[in-house]
Amino acid sequence: MQTTKTHIVHGGTLRYLKHDSDTTGTPMTLSVFVPPGEGPFPVLIWLSGLTCTEDNFTTKAGAYRAAAEHGLIIVAPDTSPRGEGVADDPAYDLGQGAGFYVDATQEPWAPHFRMESYVTGELIRLIDDHFPTTGVRSISGHSMGGHGALTLALNHPDLFRSVSAFAPIVSPSVAPWGEKAFTAYLGDDRAVWDRHDAAKLIAAGAAKGVYDDILIDQGDADSFLADQLKPELLQAAADAVGQKVTLRMQPGYDHSYFFMASFIADHVAFHARRLKG
């Protein structure tokens, strides 16, 4: 783990890091904020959306004041493998910057696009090995990263104490972004897609007895709301099985980091209560 930049913020230490990943076979970058004090601290992993790197959340979300107050480490990895020899696509919603937090099984993506295994395996081990963690963690994210946070939490409930999301793609199987990415990364068999669809996972009971609540913030002025995000599908699935989901429709907010910066402290507090409870 090579530190490329360090900043002091709200009394804590923010590091930008780079390492060679055994999982993706590429260099991977991330940021890690450690709050003031000796620790150990619980961890919140943040997954970003399409076209983002670790820098979008790090510089725009304004999460570190709340993280310092609650004593949380925040980890923000890049959204995909990158570099020479890594498959890509001219479109913004496929390839580098658009990993969708799945392990690709189709060529040319399969050799490097293994973001599910990276986040749930190698990344967690590296953070626990190199930082003063308590060994417990939660997960959150935005848009594609909100999809990733929900599906990784539902598929790996032993790893995460809680989950939340901003404007997540709740059912990629019926959203143009998800249909395009899943066809490319996972193939044409839609049954394979089900474990990467949060609405279907919740409908199957994946959250029952695991997560007491799932916090979702969604702006009602989000231009992607009707076609891509469809939070009503997640709410309906949760209602059908008696799973608590707190879906907050925020009037006037769009899909930008201005939206996330407005409510990120609520999400940090939501996770802190469960990480320390």
CB crowding 81-92: b at 16 or more within 10 Å, else e: bbeeebbbbeee
Rounded CA separation 275/251 (Å): 29
CB crowding 209-224: b at 16 or more within 10 Å, else e: ebbeebbbbbbeebeb
Per the CB < 8 A criterion, the answer to whether 178 and 186 are in contact is no
Write down the catalytic residue from 143, 162, 164, 171.
143
Tokens of 73: 């480490």
Write down the catalytic residue from 93, 197, 217, 222.
222
Rounded CA separation 64/214 (Å): 22
Write down the catalytic residue from 70, 112, 196, 255.
255
138 is known as an active-site residue = no
**Residues across the chain:** 277
Residues 6+ apart with CB under 8 A from 192: 105, 186
143 is known as an active-site residue = yes
Give me the phi and psi of 98, to 5 degrees please.
-145, 55
196 is known as an active-site residue = no
Residues 6+ apart with CB under 8 A from 85: none
> Any idea which residues carry the catalytic annotation?
143, 222, 255
